[in-house]
Amino acid sequence: MELGEVVESLVASVSLEIDNADRALAAGRPHDAVHPAHRARNDGLMIGAQPLLDALIEVETAASRGELEPARAALERVRAVWPATRDELQRCVTER
């Protein structure tokens, strides 16, 4: 795979898992958000996106404890940092 394909795959995966966590939390099922947050965090580890990782860890931790509102608040932080992270990844690929 070329770098662009790897980045596209990573961006698609993180976006999907954020959406999956969001749906679970919107439905009031915090435990169903644990695995999507974990998978997105694993993808984030590959790129070292610390603000994204920190927020995903908060989602995963709160959701695993069944803490709906803290998990939702952490997901809002994920949604706040993800666009800039995604854009930076895509910019790095296009500037190569």
Q: How far apart are CA 88 and CA 91, in angstroms?
A: 5
Task: Identify the pLDDT of residue 96.
Answer: 64
Which long-range contacts does 53-61 make (Cβ < 8 Å, 24+ apart)? Answer: 55/80, 55/81, 59/21, 59/33, 60/33, 60/34
Report the pLDDT averaged over residues 9-20: 95
Return the pLDDT at 40.
96
What confidence tens digit (pLDDT) does each residue in 17-74 have?
A: 999 999 999 999 999 999 999 999 999 888 878 999 999 999 999 999 999 999 999 9
For residue 89, name the pLDDT band (cuts at 50, 70, 90). confident
Which domains, and CATH codes, for the chain?
Answer: 3-94 (1.20.120)
Query: Is pLDDT of 1 > 80?
Result: no
